[in-house]
Amino acid sequence: MHLLMPIMGMMPLMVFFLFNSFSSYNVTLIITVISLLVSFPLKGCIFKQKINFTVYIATISIFLLVLFSLFSPFDYLYETKASVFLGIFLSITLFVFLRLKDYFKIRILQKDGIEEGLKILQLDTEFYVVKLALYIQGSYLLVTLFYQLLPDNYHSSFADFCIYHGIVLLFIFAHIIYEFSHWNFLKKRLSDEIWLPIVNESGAVKGKVALSVSLFSGNKYLHPVVRVALINKGKLFLQERKDHFLNQVHQLDYPFERSLLFEETLDEGVKKAITKNGGSSELPYRFIFRYVYKDSETNRLIYLYACNILDDKLLDYLHLETGKWWLNKQIEENLNTGLFSPYFEKEYELLNTTVLMAERLMQEHEREIEAQISS
């Protein structure tokens, strides 16, 4: 229902055009004003939404028609062409609001909030309806103008009804059908959209934003990402990065990495990062530390995990297409050369002095025991 609200804001105008075809001008105006008054509390109280621009457009257009009728005689000619006058006032109002679109967008951008992208999307949606309505009204007015220029022998009561009522009703219903189809299509696309959580530096979720919006927002939003270092006997498995949300493609990095989705837990994110990138759910993992990585293009809260494979049989569960195991010495010889991703280089020092060092000490201890046994 929310997606249909822009076109539903034009309902009072549709009520006027419909009733004006069969009722007197005064009755039509009363019914229209009542429908207009009802639309405000319906949106504000029942649907818990802000008033759309389309509702304001309908209100202003009807107000101009009422104001005009106070200074114009209610003769038969005026009553039969009330739809034309409303169409003129509506076209003027639509045009003015379209010219003010940039002003409203600037007002939204000046407010630094996590829902800014969504508000811009809603604004574009409403003004799409406004623009289409202006085209429809412009076409209707051109038809009526052409009809007025025809000789009197082309005019009749039936032709008047078709021009002043029939065509506008046809345009309105065609517009409604189009909007319903269009918004149903957008609703399906929205249901297929990927949503990312917006978090603070401690990891608390502040809101959400669509992936399609975040991709064009640079480093504005802080999103959580899970990364898993794959370790075996003090060695790290590294492979070339593929196209990824974190950028820095074609540099060497861990094979397991994934952006956390909205309402997804860290454990769920880690397991999916492993299983969807050639690993197995049997692989163990543990949390190491988190940090914020921010540059001109990205802003990410990184959760680093370590997957330390102690049982070589678990290596059989790996299905990694490319990459190799790197020794500590090999990595240190290639640091700061652009070979590794900046994420990996930022994490390596702490990883090397904790998990990898403990792994190396354990390997040395095992070798000492084996030497003692053999001697």
* Cα three-residue angle 182-187-191, rounded to 5 degrees: 150
φ, ψ of residue 276 in degrees (nearest 5): -90, 0
* CA–CA separation, 307 and 255 (whole Å): 11
Amino acid making up residue 196: L
What is the pLDDT confidence band of residue 15, given thresholds at 50, 70 and 90? confident
11 pLDDT more than 50: yes
The continuous run of DSSP H or E covering 325 comes out as strand 324-326
φ, ψ of residue 335 in degrees (nearest 5): -65, 150
CATH code linked to domain 205-374: 3.90.79.10
What is the pLDDT confidence band of residue 266, given thresholds at 50, 70 and 90? very high
pTM for this one?
Answer: 0.56
Winning range, highest mean pLDDT, from 38-52, 100-114, 234-248, 263-277:
263-277
Q: pLDDT higher for 176 or 224? A: 224
* CA–CA separation, 161 and 75 (whole Å): 17
What pLDDT is attached to residue 292? 93
Note the pLDDT tens digit of each residue in 159-178: 877 877 777 778 777 777 87
Winning range, highest mean pLDDT, from 108-112, 147-151, 194-198, 303-307:
303-307
| Three-class SS state of 70 | helix
What pLDDT is attached to residue 16? 84
Q: Give percent of the chain with pLDDT exceeding 70.
A: 80
What is the pLDDT confidence band of residue 301, given thresholds at 50, 70 and 90? very high
φ, ψ of residue 239 in degrees (nearest 5): -145, 170
305 pLDDT more than 50: yes
Q: pLDDT higher for 229 or 40? A: 229
Query: Considering Cα of 57, then 62, then 66, then 71, what sign does the dihedral take?
Result: positive
CB 74 within 8 A of CB 25: yes
* CA–CA separation, 161 and 156 (whole Å): 9
Write the CA distances from 165 to 29, 67, 79, 173, 190, integer angstroms.
15, 22, 12, 12, 37
244 pLDDT more than 70: no
21 pLDDT more than 50: yes
What pLDDT is attached to residue 295? 85
What pLDDT is attached to residue 47? 45
What pLDDT is attached to residue 164? 75
CB 269 within 8 A of CB 261: yes
φ, ψ of residue 116 in degrees (nearest 5): -60, -45
CB 219 within 8 A of CB 298: yes
Average pLDDT score over the chain = 78
CB 4 within 8 A of CB 47: no
Helices marked H in 11-115 — which ranges?
11-19, 25-41, 53-70, 76-80, 82-99, 101-109
What is the pLDDT confidence band of residue 3, given thresholds at 50, 70 and 90? very low
* CA–CA separation, 196 and 217 (whole Å): 13
What pLDDT is attached to residue 353? 82
* CA–CA separation, 308 and 306 (whole Å): 6
Looking at beta carbons, which pairs linking 248-251 to residues 24 or more positions away fall under 8 Å?
248/341, 248/342, 248/343, 251/338, 251/339, 251/340, 251/341, 251/344
Note the pLDDT tens digit of each residue in 24-41: 777 888 888 888 877 665
Tokens for 1? 């229902």
Q: pLDDT higher for 128 or 236? A: 236
What pLDDT is attached to residue 260? 92
Note the pLDDT tens digit of each residue in 320-368: 778 888 988 899 899 989 899 889 998 988 888 887 777 777 766 666 6
Domain ranges of the chain: 2-191, 205-374
What pLDDT is attached to residue 251? 87
Note the pLDDT tens digit of each residue in 80-99: 577 778 888 888 888 898 88
Residue 259 burial (CB count, 10 A): 20
Q: pLDDT higher for 278 or 227? A: 227
What is the pLDDT confidence band of residue 302, given thresholds at 50, 70 and 90? very high
Radius of gyration (C-alpha) of the chain in whole angstroms: 33
What pLDDT is attached to residue 265? 92
What pLDDT is attached to residue 340? 92
* CA–CA separation, 276 and 259 (whole Å): 12
What pLDDT is attached to residue 6? 67
